[in-house]
Amino acid sequence: MTTIATLVTRVQLYLQDQDAQGWTLPQVETQLREVIARLGRQQLLGEVVWQQVVAGQPEYLFAESTVEFLDVLYDGRSLRPVQETSMSRLRRDWDQTQGEPQYFTVPLEPPETVKLIPIPFNSGDPTPATLPRPITGPVEGNLVVFLWDNPQAAGNATLALPEALEDAVVFLTVADLTGQDSPYHDKEKNQCFQTLGMLIVQQLLGE
């Protein structure tokens, strides 16, 4: 875990502006959050989330920072993503049927909600898992969701970023700030840090 304050300090170090004479702390933080949001939209920031399934409850809410759901597992099996319009063509009462979930849909925008189809008739085990299991609860009868995340969307002060992404965020923030039209514009530093940041991003994207 890292903090926005730690990233701001790193950016100031590379800017050689530790006394915030060239760029104010709010300017640096705003630019950091913009870069993080940009990387989130590029689907670089992933997270695994566990939720207990409750009998009779079809919808499950996730963080407002969710960009997209990559995979939804129920009882250890991947559910097939579908559109509500497609389900309506197959069966008129699809949203009333109970059973073992086979599909999921994302009914709202932004994509914070997963709706299970059919509606689960059993509740999952709420018992927390003991470490070192990689998720926070038992898989049996519950949801394990892989999603793309924009961790700054809720204004979080603490972020779970891989070390390589921390570097990319810092380098690209320095590039953005030094590329702005201001008395502190620095073309060489802008190009250098833009190249460093993009090299990391391209490596992570497999390009």
Please indicate, yes or no, whether residues 162 and 78 belong to a single structural domain of this protein: no
pLDDT of residue 135: 52
Are residue 122 and residue 195 in the same domain, yes or no? no
pTM to 2 decimal places: 0.62
The whole-number pLDDT of residue 151 equals 67
Residues 101 and 66 in one domain: yes
Same domain, residue pair 55 and 134 = yes
Q: What is the pLDDT of residue 136?
A: 60
Domain region containing 120: 46-149
99 vs 2, residue with greater confidence: 99
Mean pLDDT of 114-124: 92
The tally of domains found in the chain comes to 2
Tell whether the model's pLDDT for residue 13 goes beyond 90: yes
Residue 50 sits in the same domain as residue 135? yes
| Contact between residue 23 and residue 173 where contact means Cβ atoms under 8 Å apart | no
Report which of 55, 51, 52, 53 is spatially closest to residue 122, judged by C-alpha positions: 55
pLDDT at 114: 94
Distance of CA 90 to the CA centre of its chain: 33
Q: Are β-strands 66-74 and 143-149 bridged in parallel, bridged antiparallel, or unpaired?
A: antiparallel
Environment class of residue 24 by beta-carbon count within 10 Å: exposed (0-12), middle (13-18) or buried (19+)?
Answer: exposed
Q: pLDDT: is 42 or 31 the higher one?
A: 31
Residues 118, 76 share a domain: yes
**Cα 64 from Cα 113, distance rounded (Å):** 9
